[in-house]
Amino acid sequence: MYLDQRSCLVLKAIVDNPAATGKDIEQQLVLSRKQLSYTIKKINDYLADSGLEKITRLKTGKFNIPLSVIEEYKSDENEAIDGNYSYTQDERMLILALIILISSEELSTYHFTSELEISKNTLMSDMKKLQKFLANFNIKLFYSRSDGYTLLGSEYSKRQLLINVIKKLLDLPNGENTIIRFCKIKDQKIKEIEKEIEKIESKLEMRFTDQRVQELPYILYLVICRITQGKTLSQLPEPFHHMVGTTEYSTISELASRYKINDPLERMFLTAQIQISNIHHLDKNRLEVEDNLVLATRDVIENFENICCVKINEADKLQEALIQHCKPAFYRIKYNYHIETDITDMVLPQHKYLHEIVSKSVVPFEKLLGGKLPDQELVYLTVLLGSWLRREGLLDFVESRRKAVVVCTNGVSVSNFLFITLKELFPEIEFTKCLSARGFYEHAESFNIVFSTIRLETDKVQFIVKPFLNQSSKQAFREKVFQELEGINLHKIQTESLLAIIEEHADIKDREQLVRELERYISLPVSKNDEAFNNALNKELSLNIILEDLLTFETVKILDETVDWKEAIKIASLPLLKSKAFQPRYLSRMIEIIEDDQPYIMIADGVVIAHGSVNDGVNQVGMGLVKLPERISVGGYLDADIIIVLGTPDTTIHLNALDKLNRILEHKRSLAKLRKAKNIDDILELVTQK
């Protein structure tokens, strides 16, 4: 009895989240009701063959999962089903490509049918699909009676294909076993490469992400196999030649020497695999070496602060995180590699305005790169910078709360985003650290709970979590956590138990009516019943503050006579002081910052925006605008005829409005209309335009 990929995914989803309903699984895996029912039947047949109890459906839509199934799954994760895994056509196609790439023998039709245990007709169908797949890499599949199946194309293209195939196969439930089986790799060989990677990490004073640590041994080993077979590079794209002399090149040269690889092109190619690797930790001493990158990231943060009108308190730590992400991203783009999962569709719908701000902030990095950042790379910076803004608005946690760590196998951007998401989702828990899987096993500080993207060997309470959760997933996950931690189901408290408590302390006039009312209340979604969750949700919804809410008839002024810059700021602030949005000290602080720090606060030609930080005396978001008849000197270092003041008690709540203001001011026609405005209505018309 075999399990296909869909069955493996459904079984994994059900066991990982026992509180999930059939509808949840359908949405998560994009299945129809009929497809899910058929898959559950296949899973139960497999469980029965394995001597395990079947999974049954409850009237509530949830699943009754036997303890034996949960224990079997948790003990060995996917090991229990590895031996009985049935490959799909797409997976067989990847295996065929891998075998052809690695084999030094003549490959006949019989070789493939026996290896994959498939018919000749199935093989022919798979080969047709492989031919189409290979076209993406400018490679052709060729067959001759004398040589069997071979690949026609440049060695560089074949290397790109090899890396792509390895990464895709490692995503399978039994990925490593698949590669080892069909490439006939001895375990000792991979362990030797793993030790070499540890040495590279030590010499470069960095730690790769868990995902990259899993991929690199197979990539390096199989590339070395091709080299030893005489399948070497004849040329490389021009950017590769600039890596000679780098620390990474010197370090990889030591590994290359051990495997008797002396060709500079091959050493460059191996070096690139290190340079593009995602980093989980980079030593502070190593940060200082990357002078250009340090300067660029510092400028990116300054741009981001100016556009957002915020001051990031831990800018040095943010800079470290940016360097850790940007260094491998720099090489990925330079060598035209993209090893990150594309999360654009997951992030942009909720954070489009923030993404636009980030795209304007990263110009220094793009200058260093010599081109635009692709969206699939830029979105990771949006995640990183966005999570930092949210982080600085969080409340302190008390020692008495449960302590938790987060384990994420992805890069620093995604890890930070998940860490902040969980902190906001569970304000009852103190989250102390975000770790890699390897870092987790070395972590000495005390904690009670671990939230992880992979299953870990630990006696602590453990919850498996996805790096990105939508709103409904957050609700379900919060319910699941509290069910296990407290024995409380936030949705389904037993009505009868609740009634028993009420009867002890009150006289019930209409028991049946009370039961109906309790059941109605209990069945409300978590977001309505759970105060902590509701607070987090309200914070997200508060981002809906728009520019039209801030620039109104009361907060916009047109002056007929010129005043100095301090007076202009006072006039712009008066309505906000009157409404108590600003405290008097905030006005003084804005003026003080311009006098003492002289920050660059010009957001468009002749337009400045004065602001302080969230802790300088702001009660609620407020914005004021004053238009002067002519330009004046602001602080002796800027000239402007439009003065805007802005205050916000939170680092994110004003971003939507600020983004629209920036979009208005970046167009010369809109800016000209603003200057020519004769009355406030003309300005408000600009503000309200779509």
- Any domain includes 380: no
> Among 277, 298, 321, which residue terminates a domain?
277
Amino acid 410: pLDDT? 64
Q: Is residue 387 part of a domain?
A: no
The pLDDT value recorded for residue 560 is 93
Task: Say yes or no: 299 and 417 in one domain.
Answer: no
CB contact at 8 A, 125 and 131: no
pLDDT band at 652 (very low <50, low <70, confident <90, very high): low
Q: Are residues 669 and 650 in the same domain?
A: yes
Residues 602, 648: one domain? yes
Instruction: Judge if 574 and 593 occupy the same domain.
Output: yes
- Both tokens of residue 585? 């000290």
Same domain (yes/no): 288, 259:
no
Is the pLDDT confidence value at 100 over 60? yes
Task: Give the bridge partners for 677, in sequence order.
Answer: none
CATH number at residue 33: 1.10.10
Q: 196 lies in which domain range?
A: 187-277
Supply the pLDDT for residue 486: 63
- CATH number for the domain harbouring residue 208: 1.10.1790
- Binning pLDDT at 50, 70 and 90, where does residue 242 land? low
Structure-model confidence comparison of residues 104 and 628, the more confident one: 628
Over the stretch 292-327, which tens digit does the pLDDT of each residue have? 788 888 899 888 887 766 677 778 888 888 887 777
Condensed to tens digits (0 to 9), the pLDDT of residues 8-63 reads 888 888 887 777 888 888 887 777 888 888 889 888 888 887 788 889 988 888 88
Dump pLDDT digits (tens) for 166-217.
988 988 877 888 899 899 998 888 888 888 888 888 887 767 777 778 888 9
- Does residue 453 lie in a domain region? yes
Residue where a domain terminates, one of 338, 355, 374? 374
Within-domain flag for 100: yes
List the Cα angle 610/672/627 in 5-degree steps: 40
Distance CA 341, CA 467 (A): 11
Is the pLDDT reported for residue 541 higher than 50? no
Contacts of the segment 561-568: beta carbons below 8 A, 24+ positions apart: 561/629, 562/628, 562/629, 562/630, 562/632, 563/628, 563/632, 564/632, 565/594, 565/632, 565/633, 565/634, 565/635, 565/640, 565/643, 566/591, 568/626, 568/628, 568/632, 568/643
Check: CB of residue 40 under 8 Å from CB of residue 31. Answer: no
Q: Are 133 and 97 in contact (CB under 8 A)?
A: yes
More confident residue, 472 or 626: 626
The residue among 165, 3, 164 whose CA lies nearest residue 88 is 3
Residue, of 338 and 247, whose pLDDT is higher: 247
Residues 191 and 179 in one domain: no
pLDDT tier, 162 (very low <50, low <70, confident <90, very high otherwise): very high
Give residue 538's pLDDT band: very low, low, confident or very high (50, 70, 90).
very low
348 in the same domain as 218:
no
- List the one residue out of 408, 353, 366, 267 whose CA is nearest residue 544: 353
Determine contact, residues 107/144, Cβ cutoff 8 Å: no
Average pLDDT over residues 553-560: 95
Question: What does the CA dihedral 541, 543, 344, 298 come to, rounded to 10 degrees?
Answer: -140
Whether 624 is covered by a domain: the verdict is yes
CATH number of the domain to which 124 belongs: 1.10.10.10
Q: Which of 252, 277, 302 is the last residue of a domain?
A: 277
Query: What are the tokens at 572?
Result: 């712009």
Structure confidence at residue 527 (pLDDT): 41
In this prediction, residue 399 has a pLDDT band, given cuts at 50, 70 and 90, of: very low
**In a shared domain, residues 15 and 34:** yes
Position 347 in a domain: yes
Q: What is the CATH number of the domain that holds 418?
A: 3.40.50.2300
State the Cα–Cα distance between residues 24 and 27, nearest whole angstrom. Answer: 5
User: 435 near 209, Cβ under 8 Å?
Assistant: no
What is the number of structural domains in the chain? 6
Listed range (173-182, 370-379, 542-551) with the worst mean pLDDT: 542-551
Residue 505 belongs to some domain of the structure: no
Position with higher pLDDT, 518 vs 60:
60
Are 465 and 453 contacting, i.e. CB atoms less than 8 angstroms apart? yes
Q: For residue 228, give the amino acid letter.
A: T
The answer on 192 and 116 residing in a single domain is no
Asked, for residue 393, whether it belongs to a domain, the answer is no
Same domain, 243 and 335: no
pLDDT above 60 for 82? no
CA 270 to chain centre: 27
For 254-295, the pLDDT digits (tens) are 888 888 998 989 988 888 888 776 544 444 444 444 677 888
